[in-house]
Amino acid sequence: MLPFLFYENRNKYTDLRFLAAASSDGEINGISGFSGKIVAPEIGEVTEGGAVYFQLRDWGTGSIFGSRKNALIKLILKTKEDRSMFRLLCQEGTARRGEFVTPHGVIQTPVFMNVGTAAAIRGGLGAMDLSVLGTQVLLCNTYHLHLRPGDDVVYALGGLREFTRWSGPVLTDSGGFQVFSLAGLRKITEEGVTFASHIDGRRIFMGPEESMRIQSHLASTVAMAFDECIQNPAPYEYTRRSCDRTYRWLVRCKEELDRLNGREDTLNRKQMLFGINQGSTYSDLRVAHMKQIARLDLDGYAVGGLAVGESAEEMYRVLEAVEPFMPADRPRYLMGVGTPVNILESVARGIDFFDCVMPSRNARHGHLFTSRGIINIANQKYRTDPAPVDEACGCPTCRDFSRAYLRHLMKADEMLFFRLAVQHNLYFYNRLAADIRAALEEGRFRSFYAEKREIYGKRI
């Protein structure tokens, strides 16, 4: 297998940027709907920093772009050690603006991933809606999809992207958080966890290998490692042992996913793996665990086990302790967080990826995020209010409907309320991430952060 090839160029026939891997016979598979054949030089003569040329073909038609002479595209060879698919574009303090190249598209960071636990956004939103709302990544849950409809069903139907008709990147949570939240219904051993299904009570076993096999069946873009998520606070000695076990499980996850990605019947043979840092609120355990998992050279790294009982100040303290030891050339993901203010504070501390059910859950209860603060649409003062939820918002809800109408739908218990409210809050979160990216690009993140953190947590 040749090392990775990275192509970034423009000519009269193409405007592409992608990562590709070439096999020993010279075939190249990119991620932008194209494939090719190396034609010069000889495969064995390619060295690091050298160039190879290939004919660019459209996967659908098989046609070569341009004339045969002009269709030779140059690629620069990169070694596996230089394969990072995260590019840091600019930085202000610890806050980072980047791009993460995946097999299913380029993710602009910082990014908020929209949570579709069971392959749908609760509130009646589908893949086409997400595109309109500015969604970059759909997050689905391994545990829930394994139980219903079954990962074998999703596999038979072509993976999550075919199943949901979502064309962009998908990240699957390993199921660890859900499994460990079952508390009295599960038993932990070195091999994994035995637990009772919350649906029908049947006993199920899940370990690192099982989680990887389920996520491979789901064919997500990014698979999350199977870890033990403990509640905060937790005893120091138990936390230390848990970190050691989570590391051993991560090694097994990596080995199993490497094996699965090598199988001919795997739907996404370029599936990526993120490791998860644990350690409760103990800075020394967090740092030691981060150093340990960073040596595994994974595609990205998450901070897990936060926002599960500790204060926001403790969470920020943990991030400040861990961040210096997170690989700078890989994306950083804070799992399950959080409020708009949490996101601002965490971006300021070097985090790139976020997810949370808060925008959709709060929307269903009438709590809507706006550029001026949080409103409760059920309040009497909105009964005859003709204004949109947020006059500064460009979402479909704010373009077409009034606060009075949304309040009426909520009071009448109409299903349309959930859809309109959820799409507004998701748009707000996606727009927040885009505004943070713009502020970083323009060198004004500090002032943006100082202004918005005083507004976004305020109830009006």
Q: Catalytic residues, which ones? A: 173, 355
Length of the chain in residues, anyone? 460
Give, in degrees to the nearest 5, the angle at Cα 11 between 75 and 42: 30
Distances (CA, A) of 141 to 42, 145, 223: 45, 6, 10
- List of long-range contacts for 450-455, beta carbons under 8 Å, 24+ apart: 452/340, 452/344, 453/341, 453/344, 453/345, 455/371, 455/372, 455/373
Hey, how many other C-beta atoms are within 10 angstroms of the C-beta on 343? Answer: 24
Closest CA to 270 of 222, 302, 329, 210: 222
H or E element: which one contains 47? none
The position carrying tokens 């599936």 is 271
Which residues have a Cβ under 8 Å from the Cβ of 83 and sit 6 or more positions away? Answer: 3, 4, 19
Helix (H/G/I), strand (E/B), else coil: 8: strand
Q: Please say whether the beta carbons of 389 and 423 come within 8 A.
A: no
Distance, CA of 75 to CA of 53 (rounded, Å): 6
Q: Please say whether the beta carbons of 265 and 217 come within 8 A.
A: no
